[in-house]
């Protein structure tokens, strides 16, 4: 197999165009997803149904023609083997039940997430030309779900926990770093061509808290993956402009940034490969605007390779599949027709 476009761009090798995939590319905005989703009892059962999860993972390849398949699952699934109860109630966002006591967490057994690796294994059979992305939540983002319990807004409980129970917070971060490492290594062994770490909730914290309480764990995690495996690591972190220099020192090959970052400037300052960063809200505007804002971003990229087009955050359930298709087509034609 010829090295796929996305992996060539990460290796900064010559590419014919920019590769594109989208965070949350498989989801409720697709009628085809809704149809498959109805066949499972609830969202968690869908994640545990290997057959259906494989089908859902492949929908964006069929409907959008993206350059990567991301495993269909959720960042919260490794919390279950740790002893937390997770619930996805329709329209309410996820709920996580944990006592707040470290002694109530069980040692992580990666075999309990066996269905995830099975989906990766099956995807490798179907997806011959495009790479399969494995993923996990960042230790901080998982900690904030455990601590908040219900939908995260301003991370009130997480901040109080990390400031008033710093020793416990650091122990929790260690447990989660080990958990994520073990979860990702099993995905890589099942065939994932690259992995992405989602640190969605760094958005709300200060630079000094990030530096002391988040960065060392991400660095440790990435370092461990890079020591034992050859796959590229993508690090997605929100509030990107505040921590970009620290994120570039985590050892991650690719920095996936939100729209707070000006790529025309930062891609000159930092040598990392970049991924991002169109504001997903662009997809709520008219077709002409979708095209214009996409081209505007593409034209601002100061390199031909070492860049992956993506959104600055995931696609929302109320977005329009037609516009998402137009977005992907616009990226794929760029440099060829424009």
Tell me which residues touch ligand CP3 (CB under 6 A).
23-28, 37, 43, 70, 72, 74-76, 88, 93-94, 135, 198, 200, 314
Within 10 A of 113 (CB to CB), how many other CB atoms are there?
22
Least CB distance to ligand CP3 at residue 237 (A): 10
- What 3-state DSSP class applies to 88? strand
Q: What does DSSP say about strands 85-89 and 93-97: parallel, antiparallel, or unpaired?
A: antiparallel
Residue with smaller CB distance to ligand CP3, 94 or 251: 94
Least CB distance to ligand CP3 at residue 198 (A): 4
Residue with smaller CB distance to ligand CP3, 23 or 231: 23
Report which secondary-structure segment, H or E, holds 197: strand 194-199
Least CB distance to ligand CP3 at residue 288 (A): 27
Structure tokens at 55: 């089908």
Nearest by Cα to 142 from 62, 199, 206, 85: 199
Greatest extent of the chain over all pairs of C-alpha atoms, in Å = 59
**Which residue number is nearest to ligand CP3 in terms of Cβ?**
200
**What's the DSSP call for residue 280?**
G
Least CB distance to ligand CP3 at residue 241 (A): 17
Nearest by Cα to 132 from 182, 73, 216: 73
Q: How far apart are CA 7 and CA 3, in angstroms?
A: 7
Residue with smaller CB distance to ligand CP3, 24 or 304: 24
Cis peptide before 234 (omega within 30 of 0): no
Q: How far apart are CA 80 and CA 145, in angstroms?
A: 12
Least CB distance to ligand CP3 at residue 264 (A): 25
Residue with smaller CB distance to ligand CP3, 26 or 252: 26
Residue with smaller CB distance to ligand CP3, 85 or 333: 85
Residue with smaller CB distance to ligand CP3, 115 or 165: 115
Residue with smaller CB distance to ligand CP3, 39 or 299: 39
Q: How far apart are CA 264 and CA 45, in angstroms?
A: 43
Alpha helices (H) in 237-307, listed in sequence order: 240-247, 263-269, 287-300
Least CB distance to ligand CP3 at residue 258 (A): 10
Cβ-based burial of 159 (10 A; exposed 0-12, middle 13-18, buried ≥19): middle
Within 10 A of 323 (CB to CB), how many other CB atoms are there?
19
Least CB distance to ligand CP3 at residue 302 (A): 27
């Amino acid at each position: 197999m010829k090295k796929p476009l996305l992996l060539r761009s990460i290796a900064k090798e010559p590419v014919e165009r920019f590769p594109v995939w989208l965070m949350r590319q498989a989801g409720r905005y697709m009628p085809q997803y809704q149809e498959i989703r109805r066949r499972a009892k609830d969202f968690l059962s869908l994640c545990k149904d290997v057959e259906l999860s494989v089908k859902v993972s492949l929908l964006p390849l069929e409907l959008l023609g993206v350059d990567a398949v991301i495993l269909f699952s959720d960042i919260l699934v490794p919390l279950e083997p740790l002893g937390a109860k997770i619930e996805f109630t329709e329209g309410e966002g996820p709920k996580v039940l944990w006592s707040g006591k470290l002694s109530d967490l069980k040692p992580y057994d990666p075999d309990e997430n066996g269905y995830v690796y099975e989906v990766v294994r099956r995807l490798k059979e179907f997806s011959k030309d495009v790479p399969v992305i494995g993923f996990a939540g960042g230790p901080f983002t998982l900690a904030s779900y455990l601590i908040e319990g219900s939908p995260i807004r301003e991370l009130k409980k997480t901040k109080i926990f990390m400031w008033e129970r710093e020793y416990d917070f650091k122990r929790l971060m260690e447990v989660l770093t080990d958990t994520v490492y073990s979860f990702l290594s099993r995905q890589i062994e099942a065939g994932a061509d690259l992995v992405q770490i989602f640190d969605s909730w760094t958005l709300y914290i200060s630079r000094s808290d990030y530096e002391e309480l988040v960065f060392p764990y991400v660095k440790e995690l990435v370092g461990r993956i890079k020591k034992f495996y050859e796959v590229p690591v993508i690090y997605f972190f929100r509030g990107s402009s505040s921590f970009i220099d620290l994120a570039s020192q985590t050892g991650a090959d690719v920095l996936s940034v939100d729209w707070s970052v000006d790529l025309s400037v930062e891609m000159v300052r930092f040598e990392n490969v970049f991924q991002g960063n169109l504001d997903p809200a662009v997809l709520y505007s008219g077709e002409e605007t979708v095209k214009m804002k996409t081209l505007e971003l593409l034209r601002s990229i100061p390199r031909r390779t070492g860049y992956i087009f993506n959104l600055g955050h995931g696609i929302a359930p109320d977005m329009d599949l037609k516009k998402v298709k137009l977005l992907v087509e616009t990226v794929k034609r760029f440099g060829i027709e424009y």
